[in-house]
Amino acid sequence: MMDAREVANRVKALQGSITKSEPADILSQIETLKKEVVPTEEILRTTKAGILMGKLRQNANKDIARAATEVVAKWKKSIEQEKAMKKGKASASPVPKPASPAPKPAGTKKKFEGDPEKRKFTADGVDVKRTGSSVRDNCIGLIYNGLAYRSTESVDSVLQRAIEVEHAAFKAFNGETKEYKEKIRSLFQNLKVKSNADLGKGVMSGEIIAEKFVHMSSQELMSAEMRKQNALLEAENMKKAQVPMAEKSMSESLECGKCKKRMVAYTQAQTRSADEPMTTFCECMNCRHRWKFS
Ligand SMILES: [Zn+2]
């Protein structure tokens, strides 16, 4: 690679050969410049290499003209690439990227290669101290454990998602509130359900963004399999509830919506998962009207 001074000397030598009309020398000097010069606009201008090479394209000697034309084309291309790169760099840094919905986490994309059943932030060697609050850091760790469980996603990817989820919950439930802690625990529990593998995958892929994840109902968080089982359980409990009223309790506090009499028998059953309220099945002993509430 030549520096500017060397290029200038070569250009002078080439001009000398042109003056002396020595085609063999001119051709070899053009070749040298073609090979050795790393063209920038500044070098080509200050050394006059650009102007000289441009003129040589019209040389009476066809070989010289063709060689010079090739060099000019090569230099032009290099300078255009240089300009494009500068432009790219200049616009990339100050302009912030538009927020796209949950892009794939950047960083190490290396798949996790250990036993995915045993993954935890402690086992993965992850430092969850990200917020300055031990409560929040623990929540990041908990979500990490949920997302990493049975996953082969990289440590960096899982950690980034865990941080996103914790931040979204922190924002949605107004800081370190009871609701915030309950939500994090509930999300963790749902992520750990074996039949619910799609949930964690959805969060990792960006299909379920953090802001949506923290607002999903327990019904939405459940796997299709669990929803089916719960529907069956509910149907069974409905049947059980249709037992003769002798087995049911009477309540003075319940009023029949139809006849307005306070002669209501009721029974309670768990129709959904254990963490949801009981359903109360009612029957009016006066008009046989039946209903349920929870
Ligand atoms: Zn009634």
Cα of 197 from ligand 1 centre, angstroms: 47
- 122 and 188 housed in the same domain: yes
CA of 258 to the centre of ligand 1 (A): 5
Ligand 1 midpoint to CA 283 (Å)? 8
Better pLDDT: 36 or 156: 156
**Same domain flag for 119 and 218:** yes
Distance 51 CA to ligand 1 centre (A): 104
State in Å: Cα 269 to ligand 1 middle.
22
Q: How close is the Cα of 292 to the center of ligand 1, in Å? A: 14
Q: Are residues 186 and 121 in the same domain?
A: yes
d(CA 195, CA 52): 75
CA 67 to ligand 1 centroid distance, Å: 105
Q: Which residue has the higher pLDDT, 146 or 232?
A: 146
Q: Which of 103, 133, 149 is the last residue of a domain?
A: 103
Question: Are 260 and 218 part of one and the same domain?
Answer: no
What separation in Å is there between the alpha carbon of 62 and the centre of ligand 1? Answer: 110
Q: For position 27, which CATH number holds?
A: 1.20.930
Radius of gyration of the chain (CA): 38
How high is the mean pLDDT of the chain? 85
Asked if the model's pLDDT at residue 102 lies above 70, the reply is: no
Q: What are phi and psi of 281, to 5 degrees?
A: -100, 130
How many domains are there within the chain? 3
In this predicted structure, what is the pLDDT of residue 66? 94
The CATH number assigned to the domain holding 236 equals 2.20.25.10
CA pair distance 147, 143, nearest whole angstrom: 6
How much distance in Å is there from the Cα of 236 to the middle of ligand 1? Answer: 25
Burial 212-249, CB ≥16 within 10 A → b, else e: ebbebeeeebbbeebeeebeeeeeebeeebeeebeebe
**Contact assessment for residue 173 and residue 179, using Cβ atoms and an 8 Å cutoff:** yes
User: Are 96 and 147 members of one domain?
Assistant: no
From the CA of 263, how far away is ligand 1's center (Å)?
7
CA dihedral 101, 105, 109, 114 (to 10 degrees): -110
Six-digit token string for 84: 């494009």
The better pLDDT of the pair 44, 176 is held by 176
Distance 253 CA to ligand 1 centre (A): 13
Q: Domain check: are 92 and 157 in the same one? A: no
Global confidence as pTM: 0.46
32 and 5 together in one domain: yes
Please give the backbone phi and psi of residue 269, each rounded to the nearest 5 degrees, phi first: -150, 155
Final residue in a domain of this structure, among 222, 238, 262: 222
Final residue of a domain: which of 69, 103, 137? 103
Let me know whether 30 and 112 are in one domain.
Answer: no
User: Measured in angstroms, how far is the CA atom of residue 237 from the centroid of ligand 1?
Assistant: 22
CA 267–ligand 1 middle distance (angstroms): 16
The alpha carbon of 277 and the centre of ligand 1 are apart by a number of angstroms equal to 25
- How many whole angstroms from 282 Cα to the centroid of ligand 1? 10
Identify the domain containing residue 240 by its residue range.
225-293
In this structure, the answer to whether residues 230 and 218 fall within a common structural domain is: no
For the cut 70, the answer to whether the pLDDT of residue 240 exceeds it is no
Distance (Å) from CA 281 to ligand 1 centroid? 14
Task: Report the separation in Å between the CA atom of 285 and the middle of ligand 1, taken as the mean of its atom positions.
Answer: 7
How many angstroms is it from 259 CA to the middle of ligand 1?
4
Provide the residue type at 111 as one letter: K
Span of 24-38, 101-115, 171-185 with lowest mean pLDDT = 101-115
For residues 207 and 236, state if they share a domain: no
163 with 251, same domain: the answer is: no
pLDDT band at 97 (very low <50, low <70, confident <90, very high): very low
Domain shared by 213 and 246, yes or no: no
**Buried b / exposed e along 58-73 (16+ C-beta atoms within 10 A):** ebeeeebeebbbebbe
* 37-74 pLDDT per residue, tens: 888 888 888 888 999 999 999 999 999 999 999 999 99
Contact 155, 108 (CB under 8 A): yes
Of 247, 279, 251, nearest to 264 by C-alpha is: 251
Distance 286 CA to ligand 1 centre (A): 5
Strands (E), the chain: 249-251, 264-269, 279-284, 290-293
